[in-house]
Amino acid sequence: MLNDKSNVFNTDLFEALELGAMIDVAGAMACAALQRTESRGSHQRLDYPDRDDAEFLRHSLAHYSATDLPAIDYSDVTITRSQPAERVYGGAQE
């Protein structure tokens, strides 16, 4: 509930607005992650431990409409300098 009704530097109001935006972003992330059945970078899934470039070397796009959850769509990635590669650490590098 909004307690602060002021028109001047109302941080109560902007925190409420921020919360709305955060819920939107969180929903988009969760839905996109669920549909992305692979592991890539910080997106790690125990059920799909490997990267799947054939299916998911693409941007996830979330579209909100009247429904509660966003529809997930994909767009192509333009790779310039850094090619995707295996993420390896420590002794695995050699």
Partner 1 sequence: MSERTVELEILRYDPEQDEAPHFQVYTVPYREDWVVLDAINYVKDELDRTLSYRWSCHMAVCGSCGMVVNGEPALACHTFLRDYPQRIRVEPLQNFPIERDLVVVMDDFIDKLGSVKPYVVAREEKAVDDGENLQTPAELARFKQYTACINCLLCYSACPQYALNDEFVGPAALALAHRYNLDSRDVGRSAREDVVASNPGIWECSFVGACSEVCPKAVDPAAAIQQTKIASTGDYFLKFLMPWKRK
Chain contacts with partner 1 (rule: CB under 8 A):
2-4, 6-12
- Give the helix ranges, DSSP H, for the chain: 11-35, 53-56
Q: Which is nearer to partner 1, 7 or 83 (CB)?
A: 7
Cβ atoms of 37 and 52 within 8 Å: the answer is yes
Cβ atoms of 60 and 72 within 8 Å: the answer is yes
Q: Which is nearer to partner 1, 3 or 93 (CB)?
A: 3
Cβ atoms of 18 and 52 within 8 Å: the answer is no
Q: Which is nearer to partner 1, 3 or 42 (CB)?
A: 3
In DSSP terms, 60 is beta-bridged to 74
**What's the one-letter identity of residue 61?**
L
Closest CB 18 distance from partner 1, rounded Å: 12
Q: Which is nearer to partner 1, 12 or 53 (CB)?
A: 12
Closest CB 82 distance from partner 1, rounded Å: 18
Phi/psi of residue 55, nearest 5 degrees: -95, -35
Closest CB 47 distance from partner 1, rounded Å: 36
Closest CB 12 distance from partner 1, rounded Å: 5
